[in-house]
Amino acid sequence: MKGIEAPVDGRRVPRSADRGSAAVEFAMVLPLLLLLVFGIIDFGRMLNAKITLNEAAREGARSAALQSESAGIARAATLTADIGTTTPTITDCSSDAADQAEATIQFNFKFVTPIGFMAGFLGGGGSTVPLQSKSVMPCLH
C-alpha cells in the first residue's frame, strides 16, 4: 500500500509531505528535555553532598564532645572523603567553660553538567555552589 494518501481540505496529499515535522518538533523540545535531565542529575548529586555534610558534621561534633578535636576532624574527613575536599572547623570540650562541641563543615559543590553555567543566579561563574553544615553536641564533663 505504497503512496497512501490522506485527505486534506478535500484534496489528496501524499504522506511524504509530513516527513520533516517530527524532526522539527524534536529539535524544539530537546533543549528543554536536556535542561530537565541535567537539572535532575546535578540536584541529586547536590542533595547527596548536603546529606553527607550533615552526617559528617553530626559525627564530628559527637566525636569532639566525647573525645577530642582531632578525633572529630578525623571522623568528619573520613565521612566526606567520597564527595571531595571539605573544610571542617571543630571546637571540642577541652576547656572547662565549653558547654558544647561544634562542628562546621564547608564544601564547594562542582557541577558536572552544563546546568551550572546556564543558571545565572549562582554567581561567580556558576560552576560551584558553597555548601555548609553545622552541628552542636552537648559536652559530657
Residue 123 has pLDDT above 70, yes or no: no
Q: pTM for the complete prediction?
A: 0.74
Tell me if 104 sits within 8 A of 53, measured CB to CB.
Answer: no
Residue 95 has pLDDT above 80, yes or no: no
Question: Mind giving me the DSSP string for 97-140?
Answer: T--EEEEEEEEEEE-SSTHHHH-GGG-GGGSEEEEEEEEEEE--
Q: What is the pLDDT of residue 51?
A: 94
For the chain, give the mean pLDDT.
81
Q: Identify which has the larger pLDDT, 97 or 135.
A: 135
Residue 125 has pLDDT above 60, yes or no: no
Lowest mean pLDDT among 22-26, 36-40, 96-100: 96-100
Domain range summary for the chain, segments of one domain joined by +:
16-138
38-72 tens-digit pLDDT: 989 989 999 999 999 999 999 988 888 888 888 88
7-25 tens-digit pLDDT: 556 666 666 666 788 888 8
* Residue 9, helix vs strand vs coil: coil
Averaged pLDDT for residues 75-86: 85
